[in-house]
Amino acid sequence: MPLSPTTIQALADHLEAAELKAHDVVKITDEHPEMDFADAYAIQYAIRANKLARGVKLSGLKMGLTSFAKMKQMGVDVPIYGFLADYFARPDGGAIAVKELIHPKIEAEIAFVTKAPLHGPGCHIGDVLAATDFVIPAVEVIDSRYRDFKFDLKSVIADNCSSARYVTGGQPRRVDEVDLRTLGIVIEKNGEVIGTAAGAAVLGHPAASVAMLANMLAERGEHIPAGTFVMTGGATEAYAVAPGDSIVVRYQDLGAVSLHFV
């Protein structure tokens, strides 16, 4: 790890201030081209530690860049992971205040809630399905702290993978009640269809995203505990939203999630 602990903490504070004050910054690799992936995750974990120290609760984990549509949109080719905090959550049908954000975009995701721990390495789809309590639809609102959503992989990992808000809703289902690969997803903005996908858009099967998360966490000696909410990544590219926009995402067999921007 080329960055010192002091620089890691300073960069975590810098990125978290950008999140909390809703102002953009240039990508951190511009000033620190030497930083590596371990530094990037160390910065993300320092942001997480800042929040936990203030009494914020961890509400889940997320994978990002798990679909080819997202990888293509962002010009990167490796999935990444981040954390979810309690204050990111908004109720189904709820309002998202754009003034608290910089340049939000929405992503349609399938989320898992585990009932048993998942450990890597070697975690696979079968392990995930056996350890899943239920799946539930989710819409993530991402908000890169980087100017114009321009970043590289290390910068976005450090920025907690652009995490900002999320909404869950619809109908939770057991994994044996649905075919998560062929499950259709229709995204509507202001009543117009703007995106469609099937569950298989996420790494061939959304459970593969959870397995990948367990395997990536194992590299840090961590695992996915029982009872963890995990968002598996946007099934399509992300769509920009503005005040006045209304989003409904319809999931085959899982119901709909809606939110609006004020």
Which residues in this chain contact Mg ion in the complex, by CB under 5 A? Answer: 107, 140, 234
Dist. CA 97–CA 95, nearest whole Å: 6
- Segment 48-87, which members bind ligand 0L1 (CB under 6 A)? 62, 64-65, 70, 74
Find the shortest distance in angstroms from Cβ 152 to ligand 0L1. Answer: 11
Find the shortest distance in angstroms from Cβ 40 to ligand 0L1. Answer: 12
With contacts defined by CB under 6 A, name the span among 3-11, 13-21, 154-162, 164-172 that binds ligand 0L1.
154-162
Please pick, from the candidates 16, 19, 39, 107, the single residue that binds ligand 0L1 as defined by CB under 6 A.
Answer: 107
Q: Which is nearer to ligand 0L1, 199 or 234 (CB)?
A: 234
Q: Which is nearer to ligand 0L1, 128 or 156 (CB)?
A: 156
| Conformation bin of residue 37: beta by default, left when phi > 0, alpha when psi is -120 to 50 | alpha
Structure tokens at 74: 């962002």
Q: Are the beta carbons of 139 and 246 closer than 8 angstroms?
A: no
Question: What single-letter DSSP state applies at residue 241?
Answer: -
What is the SS3 assignment for 174-197? CHHHCCCCCCEEEEEECCEEEEEE
Q: Are the beta carbons of 248 and 188 closer than 8 angstroms?
A: yes
Dist. CA 114–CA 49, nearest whole Å: 23
Structure tokens at 176: 């044996």
> Is 236 near ligand 0L1 (CB under 6 A)?
no
Find the shortest distance in angstroms from Cβ 162 to Mg ion. Answer: 8
> Is 158 near ligand 0L1 (CB under 6 A)?
no
Find the shortest distance in angstroms from Cβ 145 to ligand 0L1. Answer: 10
> Is 162 near ligand 0L1 (CB under 6 A)?
yes
> Is 234 near ligand 0L1 (CB under 6 A)?
yes
Q: Which is nearer to ligand 0L1, 170 or 233 (CB)?
A: 233
Residue 65's binding partner, choosing from ligand 0L1, Mg ion, none, with beta-carbon cut-off 5 to 8 A by kind? ligand 0L1
Beta-carbon contacts of 114 under 8 Å, excluding residues fewer than 6 positions away, are: 131, 132, 133, 210, 224, 225, 226, 227, 228, 230
Residues touching ligand 0L1: how many (CB under 6 A)? Answer: 15
> Is 140 near ligand 0L1 (CB under 6 A)?
yes
Q: Which is nearer to ligand 0L1, 3 or 108 (CB)?
A: 108
Dist. CA 240–CA 246, nearest whole Å: 12
Amino acid at 69: A
Whether the CA torsion 154, 88, 148, 78 is positive or negative: it is positive
Find the shortest distance in angstroms from Cβ 82 to Mg ion. Answer: 9
Cis omega (within 30 of 0) for bond into 121: yes
Q: Which is nearer to ligand 0L1, 4 or 101 (CB)?
A: 101
Contact footprint for ligand 0L1 (CB under 6 A): 62, 64-65, 70, 74, 107, 140, 142, 144, 156, 161-162, 233-234, 238
